[in-house]
């Protein structure tokens, strides 16, 4: 009986943590131009919540955060995105680091699925 209650509380706390992460990253997006220092703090809090409750950030969320300085990336303002040989290359202007992610064209994905 006690384990069942514990499981429900754990599921509920993970769900709440996911919601808080989404809210914090939305605040980071909204406050980027007016308060860049707040944006960095929102990203930091979202990461800490994710680690505390063992909740992973989604792929789009992760790609908006610099892996090195944990800054909020806004293309054209503080980062540059280039497509190079089936790689998405993101350069952070704050720390100068480059993150690379693979991407596939639709034709390649369709060939793999068949």
Binding site for Zn(2+), residues? 66, 69, 92, 95
- What is the C-alpha separation between 95 and 63, in angstroms, rounded? 16
Annotated binding-site residues read: 66, 69, 92, 95
Q: What would the two tokens of residue 110 be?
A: 């369709």
Q: Where are the alpha helices (DSSP H) in the chain?
A: 2-30, 36-52, 59-63, 106-113
- What is the C-alpha separation between 61 and 50, in angstroms, rounded? 12
Count of H helices and E strands in the chain? 4, 3
- What is the C-alpha separation between 14 and 56, in angstroms, rounded? 10
């Amino acid at each position: 009986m006690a384990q069942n209650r514990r499981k429900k509380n754990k599921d509920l706390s993970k769900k709440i943590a996911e919601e808080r992460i989404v809210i914090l990253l939305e605040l980071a997006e909204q406050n980027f131009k007016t308060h860049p220092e707040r944006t960095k703090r929102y990203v930091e809090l979202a990461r800490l919540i994710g680690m505390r409750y063992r909740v992973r950030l989604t792929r789009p969320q992760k790609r908006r955060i610099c892996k090195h300085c944990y800054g909020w990336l806004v293309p054209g303002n503080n980062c540059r995105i280039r497509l190079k040989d089936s790689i998405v290359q993101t350069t952070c202007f704050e720390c100068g680091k480059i993150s690379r992610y693979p991407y596939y064209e639709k034709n390649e994905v369709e060939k793999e699925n068949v």
